[in-house]
């Protein structure tokens, strides 16, 4: 890793598979004073710039070439200035769960918050996204994300997104070719049932993140479970504030905790063939205490 000037703030990167509570966690953290983020859902176009030809989101650390690192770090510095130069900038792009070593290479100053949710519940929730059933993003949503995408990359993203949704809308596909993080082998499994695709995506995200964090110093990462966050949001947020050495008044912690909603166990009621998914899910489920 070549030396670079340290950022004048702490990047806090939330790592989690899609539908694992990353949005709720980001919103709770940015309710704290001195914590800001981008005014859009995710910034995968920024993370992927310079590596669009890579077939999936599992970018290796070697893909963080000097020009790529420079581009992403400048994007963080730009939002830091726009947001009033806060001490912490939070970022959550779910695809980063597949490429933690790449993120660390780009942002060696980063602290990580890893959020894990029961994979069976994730499959139940994520399959609706793959099928295009949940809150189809509006034009303002797309424009907010496009604002932070490099102009040279916009045609690629626009063509891909429109094509996937039209294919579902007009019945050419039962689900979008890809929703969320694109794990290695996504295309190879494209014809699989949507529940299997969701299971493979969740398992890949959790496995890749676990592998990376197992090699990382303990003071760089904190792991939490979605179920604990929703059951005890104030206690969980207090743990995160302590981990980040960020002073948050109790009244603010309580206010931020009040916005956390969610539950557990729905997937076990909604999915008919859980046993058929177990060869994919069992390892990470056991590792995180869900089995």
Q: Which tens digit of pLDDT belongs to each residue from 37-70?
A: 999 889 999 999 999 999 999 999 999 999 999 9
Residue 282: inside a domain, yes or no? yes
pLDDT range class, residue 263, cuts 50, 70, 90: confident
The verdict on residue 1 lying in a domain is no
CATH number at 90 reads: 3.40.50.300
Q: Which of 22, 5, 16 is nearest to 73 (CA)?
A: 5
Joined tokens for residue 111: 């602290």
Q: Read off the pLDDT of residues 157-173 as tens digits, 9 standing for 90 and up.
A: 555 555 555 444 555 55
Domains in the chain: how many in total?
1
Q: Is residue 5 part of a domain?
A: no
Rounded distance between C-alpha atoms, residue 230 and residue 253, angstroms:
14
Can you give the pTM of this predicted structure?
0.88
Residue 221 domain flag: yes
In a domain, 273, yes or no: yes
Rounded distance between C-alpha atoms, residue 99 and residue 113, angstroms: 14
Give the rounded percent of residues in the chain with a pLDDT score beyond 70: 85
Residues 120-157 pLDDT 10s: 999 999 998 887 654 445 545 555 656 777 767 666 65
Residue 76, CA atoms < 13 Å, CB-side half-sphere: 25
Domain membership of residue 244 as a residue range: 10-287
Is 60 exceeded by the pLDDT of residue 178?
Answer: yes
Arithmetic mean of pLDDT, 6-18: 97
Per residue in 205-236, pLDDT (tens digit) is 999 999 999 999 999 999 999 999 999 999 99
Any domain includes 4: no
Say if 121 falls within a structural domain: yes
**The pair of three-digit structure tokens given for residue 217, joined into one six-digit string:** 């110093």
Give CA–CA dist 104/45, Å, rounded: 17
Alpha helices, DSSP H, located in the chain: 22-29, 44-48, 66-82, 100-106, 119-130, 139-146, 154-169, 194-214, 226-231, 233-243, 250-258, 266-270, 274-287
pLDDT of residue 136: 47
């Amino acid at each position: 890793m070549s030396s670079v000037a340290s950022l004048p703030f702490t990047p806090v990167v939330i790592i989690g598979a899609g539908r694992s509570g990353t949005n709720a966690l980001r919103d709770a953290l940015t309710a704290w004073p001195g914590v800001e983020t981008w005014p859009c859902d995710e910034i995968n176009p920024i993370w992927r710039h310079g590596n669009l030809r890579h077939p999936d989101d599992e970018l290796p650390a070697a893909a963080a070439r000097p020009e790529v690192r420079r581009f992403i770090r400048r994007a963080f510095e730009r939002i830091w200035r726009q947001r009033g130069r806060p001490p912490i900038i939070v970022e959550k792009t779910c695809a980063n769960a597949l490429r933690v070593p790449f993120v660390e290479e780009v942002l060696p100053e980063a602290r990580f918050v890893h959020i894990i949710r029961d994979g069976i519940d994730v499959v139940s929730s994520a399959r609706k996204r793959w099928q295009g059933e949940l809150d189809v993003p509006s034009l303002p949503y797309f424009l907010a994300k496009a604002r932070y995408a490099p102009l040279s990359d916009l045609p690629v993203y626009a063509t891909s997104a429109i094509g996937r949704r039209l294919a579902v809308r007009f019945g050419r596909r039962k689900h979008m070719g890809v929703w969320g993080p694109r794990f290695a082998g996504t295309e190879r499994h494209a014809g699989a049932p949507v529940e299997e695709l969701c299971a493979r995506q969740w398992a890949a995200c959790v496995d890749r993140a676990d592998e990376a964090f197992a090699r990382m110093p303990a003071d760089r990462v904190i792991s939490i479970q979605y179920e604990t966050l929703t059951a005890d949001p104030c206690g969980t947020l207090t743990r995160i504030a302590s981990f980040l050495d960020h002073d948050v008044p109790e009244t603010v912690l309580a206010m931020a905790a009040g916005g956390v909603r969610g539950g557990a166990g729905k997937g076990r009621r909604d999915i008919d063939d859980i046993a058929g998914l177990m060869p994919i899910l069992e390892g990470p489920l056991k590792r995180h205490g869900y089995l």
